[in-house]
């Protein structure tokens, strides 16, 4: 019998042959990778080019993913399918026509904000959340049309709830945890998770330490019990893993993620001012070879095989299959 699917809803590693091999060692069938934080359209195209070279160079390990069926192809050929996404709408600049262009190039997820107010919505670090903007409403409609998934992982509460209600297709929070388990600024409150899941959307659980209860000291049991409780509350069919793994990244990358070009001051985000870099990962998830630990942990807290398989990848597969293509009639 083939092992259950393993799909990671978000990573931003410092990619290398070592990590590509670890993906295979960990049996990871597909990943959604961030290829833009603050880059404009042309700079994002350069990141597509970089990945094209990796697909050529490491064709025995990874392949480009465009559709859910590419995950089947990856499994059949012993590779990992790589799907692209943006953590900011900066690649479409102020041009709604670029939504279709980036989807054609291979983008499948786009966050409407990254912490700050954008042209489309409000980020979770802003004091006032004014919701989805006029342009945001039009961009959501266009994203729905072409099959670019609305991701609200770094967005504020009102904006996320409005996006879930406005979107004609399910949206995603690809990497976060429930706020009532760990009250990080970026974690999501009950009404936000409910708005996303009740509209058919997906919620991916993050192992990034700033989003965990007890941070780097979080236990596997605590993490998996939280997933089981969330499944009871919102339905297991809406849940997946979105590790937010930033493996091998230098601390300067954290500064780029938080600061971009919008400020001359260092924005420490959720980290300590004395330690602005990446926090150490929990011992049970240090790299892609550790997905089996989460799988075992979910079993140990009482989830059955069908539920475990759904969270580890089955739900993401279904979501990819239903949401990456153009709407019928488009």
Give the Å distances, CA to CA, from 39 to 2, 86, 150, 173, 217.
39, 9, 18, 21, 34
pLDDT at 271: 52
162, 171 in Cβ contact below 8 A?
A: no
Give the Å distances, CA to CA, from 246 to 52, 98, 133, 293.
21, 28, 31, 18
116, 127 in Cβ contact below 8 A?
A: no
Q: At the topology level of CATH, where does 7-323 sit?
A: TIM Barrel (3.20.20)
pLDDT at 330 over 70: no
Average pLDDT on 219-228 reads: 98
Give the closest residue to 234 by CA, choosing from 201, 211, 267, 283.
201
pTM: 0.95
Report which secondary-structure segment, H or E, holds 108: strand 107-111
pLDDT at 259: 81
DSSP per position, 227-273: HHHHHHHH-GGGEEE---B-TT--HHHHHHHHHTTT-SS---TTSBT
Q: What does the alpha-carbon distance between residue 276 and residue 195 come to, in Å, rounded to a whole number?
A: 33
Q: What does the alpha-carbon distance between residue 250 and residue 289 come to, in Å, rounded to a whole number?
A: 21
Tally of residues, the chain: 330
- pLDDT, tens digit, for every residue of 260-303? 888 888 766 655 454 567 889 999 999 999 999 999 999 999 99
Q: Which residues does 306 contact at the CB level (< 8 Å), separation at least 6?
A: none
Conformation bin of residue 20: beta by default, left when phi > 0, alpha when psi is -120 to 50:
alpha
pLDDT at 257: 74
pLDDT at 192 over 60: yes
Average pLDDT on 293-319 reads: 98
The pair phi, psi for residue 86, each rounded to 5°, is -115, 140
24, 78 in Cβ contact below 8 A?
A: yes
H helix runs in the chain, sequence order: 17-25, 41-57, 69-76, 98-105, 134-146, 157-166, 190-198, 220-234, 251-259, 291-300, 305-309, 315-323
Q: What does the alpha-carbon distance between residue 163 and residue 218 come to, in Å, rounded to a whole number?
A: 31
DSSP-based helix, strand, coil % in the chain, nearest 5: 45, 15, 40
pLDDT at 212 over 70: yes
Q: What does the alpha-carbon distance between residue 266 and residue 248 come to, in Å, rounded to a whole number?
A: 21
pLDDT at 268: 60
Q: Round the average pLDDT of the chain to a whole number and report it.
A: 94
20, 284 in Cβ contact below 8 A?
A: no
Cα 275 from chain centroid (whole Å): 24
- pLDDT, tens digit, for every residue of 126-170? 999 999 999 999 999 999 999 999 999 999 999 999 999 999 999
Q: What does the alpha-carbon distance between residue 45 and residue 51 come to, in Å, rounded to a whole number?
A: 10
For residue 245, the cross-strand partners are: 11
Domain boundaries, the chain: 7-323
Give the closest residue to 10 by CA, choosing from 77, 102, 99, 110.
110
pLDDT at 269: 60
């Amino acid at each position: 019998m083939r092992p259950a699917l393993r799909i990671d809803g978000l990573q931003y590693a410092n990619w290398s042959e070592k990590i590509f091999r670890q993906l295979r060692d960990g049996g990871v069938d597909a990943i959604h990778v961030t290829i833009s934080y603050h880059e404009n359209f042309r700079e994002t195209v350069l990141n597509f080019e970089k990945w094209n070279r990796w697909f050529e160079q490491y064709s025995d390990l990874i392949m480009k993913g465009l559709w859910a069926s590419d995950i089947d192809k990856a499994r059949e050929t012993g590779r990992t399918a790589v799907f692209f996404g943006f953590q900011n709408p900066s690649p479409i600049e102020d041009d709604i026509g670029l939504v279709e262009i980036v989807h054609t190039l291979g983008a499948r997820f786009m966050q409407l904000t990254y912490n700050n107010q954008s042209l489309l919505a409000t980020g979770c670090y802003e004091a006032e959340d004014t919701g989805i903007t006029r342009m945001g409403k039009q961009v959501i409609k266009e994203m729905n049309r072409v099959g670019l998934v609305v991701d609200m992982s770094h967005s504020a509460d009102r904006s996320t709830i409005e996006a879930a209600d406005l979107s004609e297709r399910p949206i995603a929070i690809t990497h976060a945890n429930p706020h009532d388990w760990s009250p990080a600024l970026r974690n999501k409150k009950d009404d936000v998770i409910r708005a996303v899941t009740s509209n058919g959307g997906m919620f991916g659980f993050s192992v990034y330490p700033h989003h965990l209860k007890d941070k780097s000291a979080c236990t596997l049991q605590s993490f998996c019990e939280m997933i089981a409780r969330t499944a009871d509350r919102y339905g297991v069919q809406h849940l997946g893993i979105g590790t937010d793994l930033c493996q091998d990244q230098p601390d300067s990358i954290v500064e780029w993620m938080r600061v971009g070009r919008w400020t001359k001051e260092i924005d420490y985000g959720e980290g300590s001012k004395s330690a602005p870099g990446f926090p150490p990962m929990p011992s049970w998830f240090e790299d892609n070879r550790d997905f089996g630990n989460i799988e075992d942990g979910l079993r140990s807290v009482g989830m059955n095989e069908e539920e475990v398989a759904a969270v580890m990848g089955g739900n993401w597969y279904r979501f990819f299959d239903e949401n990456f293509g153009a709407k019928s009639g488009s």
